[in-house]
Amino acid sequence: MVQSIPSPPLEWNAIPLGPLNLHIYALWLLAGIGVAAWLTQRRLTRRGAPPEVVLDIVLWAVPLGIVGARIYHVLTHTSDYFGNDDVWDVVRIWDGGNAIFGGLIGGALGVWIACRIAGLRFWSFADALAPAMLIAQAIGRGGNWWNHELFGGPTTLPWGLEIDPNAAMYKAMYPDGLAEGTLFHPLFLYEALWNLAGAALLLALDKRFHLRWGRLFGLYLVWYGAGRVWLELLRIDPTSDTVAGLPANSAASIVVVLLGIALFVLRGRRHPEPEESVYTPGREPAAEGAAAASDDAPAAGDVKVGGDPPTGDESSAGETTQDTPEEDEVEKTEAREKAEKATAPEEAEAEKAEVPEKATKATAPEKAEDAPGKPAASAGSSSSGAEG
């Protein structure tokens, strides 16, 4: 049976690379980012997005997320960074001090910018990212374990965490020290398990209900914020600022839960219809291709500058204007005249053929009157008998 969870030796926190140190904490974060990018890409490409777009968005979201995480941490731990002689502590991010809520704000700004450039819907990307974010956060908590940080109060539970008394967080939390062999609540492990369970839940809900338009991301906020509320109650952070008597992270967690509920409800009411495309209107690949083709096509009345003048075929190919009613009437008249000219030879031949026939008919009575003999006498006798 497990009696405790050991922590890595403090000297393993970084790998020296000449004048620089490669911190293991950063490797845990990069591993989480890589897994999240892979899963988000799979989910987004199934909805019609190109696979390379996720990497483009990550290149915006990660740097701004790191900046936001650092700024949030500094602003919620003012006593650690303001009032001392070394103002450069504010930017020494490698010494620790990143807040996930600040990372969410900065990362969201980066995603919004990148989605605007790529023509994707912001909420479509957020929905695809939601379960991947929880997995990335679970992996990233391994860096807290490696750094001997993010642990709670003493415990006698068999999964208690071993912490080196020389660790910076231990000294800040227990300046007078504790009994040798004291174990602590492994908050990093609690949160990692909570996040993995949330990722599985979101994937199942999305498969069953096809949650779109930002609603799945709203559930992410609710799940993660609710977890942080109870985790912060176990955490000991003596230098954290407070809001209404609560640690800053606890107050922020409650706000995140409320924001997630509002996002789920309002987006659902505004968009009850299914989401047909992850692209913003007019930015679909087919629409952009058609727009590019129309831009390349010659406009009506285009004139070449320099070189040979356009031929008749070239000039007519670019004509797209409509004829006026007067022009239509002229074209009809010309077509009628051409048709009459085409039928004129046939009519002339027909007239020539009719002339002999008419002449024959005209001479037939004359021949009958001039003929002598029997027909005339018979006619005369017949008429005399009738009279007598």
Q: Distance between CA 109 and CA 260 in Å, rounded?
A: 17
Q: In angstroms, how far is CA 32 from the centroid of its own chain?
A: 22
Residues in the chain, total: 388
Residues 6+ away with beta carbon under 8 Å from 147: 13, 25, 96, 167, 169
Whole-angstrom CA distances from 160 to 187, 264, 291 are: 10, 37, 62
Contact 219, 155 (CB under 8 A): no
- Indicate if the alpha-carbon torsion angle 109, 111, 116, 121 is positive or negative: negative
Residue list for the binding site: 141
**Amino acid type, 35:** V
Match 């845990």 to its residue by tokens.
Answer: 28
- The CB density around residue 76, as the number of other CB atoms within 10 Å, is 23
